[in-house]
């Protein structure tokens, strides 16, 4: 095994777990990283959860995770807004858990478009025409516009459901403008947040995830080694047809030793 790597950015849903189910190979992969003394941060594009959720959900599988070693699109969005829009009032198209995370960081939320200093769009399973109208009214005032993450669909029991990207598409369409930034993976903001958690340069960091357009794209932009796993939304056919090219294609996280050893024979 080489010593080419010092750190890893690991996706969670589709890489370590699917819903509440531990994925095959996850434990072996995590153990291999630990034995190789690879520092790690978990990074989910889930915009409704913080680090404590993943500590608790992974503890069920006897996996110990420090909440400080977890990033989500919700926490990255909140940290970005705190650094750039402290004290401002947010019009949120999103769910109650994201609202709570923002409020815990000191933000005031409003349902009055005229009172908004900025607009944040995210997954909203109670999304209505009225909500869209409110977003339009706020955005027509030319206030800053942010999205938590670009995931148009997310896997769920029984199939996929619309995600934040679908809600943002509706908001973009009516307002005639794109978000000023989408802050979760694969943004530069997300990459910087991950690297701030790790004591390693990008060229000595591995990113592992099941999405080409978020996990792998983040790694490519940041100059990391990239590995897509086939335990989530991406298939080999998807890899072959995509313009986003990972360095490694793994059946599961359990094959992470191939990356650590520099073995590309199966890609």
Give me the pLDDT at residue 19, please: 80
Q: 40: part of which helix (H) or strand (E)?
A: strand 39-44
Nearest CA-CA partner of 100 in 56, 138, 58, 52: 52
- pLDDT, tens digit, for every residue of 199-255? 899 999 999 999 999 999 999 999 999 999 999 999 999 999 999 999 999 999 999
- pLDDT, tens digit, for every residue of 3-28? 899 999 999 999 999 888 899 999 99
Give me the pLDDT at residue 18, please: 87
- pLDDT, tens digit, for every residue of 149-198? 999 998 777 778 999 999 999 999 999 999 999 999 999 999 999 999 99
The CATH number of domain 7-45+187-261 is 1.10.8.60: no
| Three-class DSSP category at 39 | strand
- pLDDT, tens digit, for every residue of 118-163? 999 999 999 999 999 999 999 999 999 999 999 999 877 777 899 9
Residue 256 above 60 pLDDT?
yes
| Three-class DSSP category at 6 | coil
| Three-class DSSP category at 165 | helix
CA atoms within 13 A on the CB side of 74: 26
Q: What is the mean pLDDT of residues 67-72?
A: 96
- Report yes or no: 155 and 13 within 8 Å, Cβ to Cβ: yes
- Report yes or no: 197 and 218 within 8 Å, Cβ to Cβ: no
Helix axes 188-197, 73-84, angle to 10 degrees: 100
For residue 2, name the pLDDT band (cuts at 50, 70, 90).
low
Please list the residue range(s) of the chain that carry CATH number 3.40.50.1000: 7-45+187-261, 75-182
Give me the pLDDT at residue 1, please: 56
CA 152, CA 134: separation in Å to the nearest integer?
A: 21
**Contacts (Cβ under 8 Å, ≥6 apart) of 95:** 47, 48, 122, 123, 124, 125, 126
The CATH number of domain 75-182 is 3.40.50.1580: no
Q: What is the mean pLDDT of residues 21-48?
A: 96
According to DSSP, the residues that pair with 156 across neighbouring strands are 159
Give me the pLDDT at residue 154, please: 87
Nearest CA-CA partner of 121 in 101, 95, 92, 142: 92
Give me the pLDDT at residue 94, please: 98
Give me the pLDDT at residue 141, please: 96
Give me the pLDDT at residue 20, please: 82
């Amino acid at each position: 095994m080489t010593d080419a790597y010092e750190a890893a950015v690991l996706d969670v849903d589709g890489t370590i777990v699917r819903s509440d189910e531990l994925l095959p190979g996850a434990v072996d992969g995590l153990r291999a990283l630990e034995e190789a003394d690879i520092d790690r941060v978990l990074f989910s594009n889930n915009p409704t959860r913080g680090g404590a959720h993943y500590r608790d959900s992974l503890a069920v599988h006897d996996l110990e995770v420090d909440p400080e070693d977890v990033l989500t699109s919700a926490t990255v969005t909140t940290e970005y807004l705190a650094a750039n829009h402290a004290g401002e009032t947010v019009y949120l198209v999103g769910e109650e858990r994201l609202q709570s995370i923002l409020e815990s960081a000191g933000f005031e939320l409003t349902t009055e478009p005229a009172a908004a200093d900025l607009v944040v769009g995210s997954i909203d399973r109670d999304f209505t025409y009225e909500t869209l109208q409110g977003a339009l009214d706020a955005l027509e005032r030319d206030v800053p516009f942010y999205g938590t993450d670009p995931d148009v669909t997310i896997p769920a029991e029984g199939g996929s459901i619309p995600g934040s990207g679908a809600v943002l598409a509706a908001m973009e369409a009516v307002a005639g403008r794109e978000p000023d930034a989408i802050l979760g993976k694969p943004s530069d903001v997300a990459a910087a947040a991950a690297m701030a958690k790790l004591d390693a340069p990008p060229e000595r960091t591995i990113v592992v995830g099941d999405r080409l357009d978020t996990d792998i794209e983040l790694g490519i932009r940041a100059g990391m080694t990239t590995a897509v796993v086939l335990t989530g939304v991406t298939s080999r056919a998807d890899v072959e047809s995509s313009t986003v090219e990972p360095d490694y294609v793994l059946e599961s996280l359990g094959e992470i030793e191939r990356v650590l050893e520099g073995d590309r024979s199966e890609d």
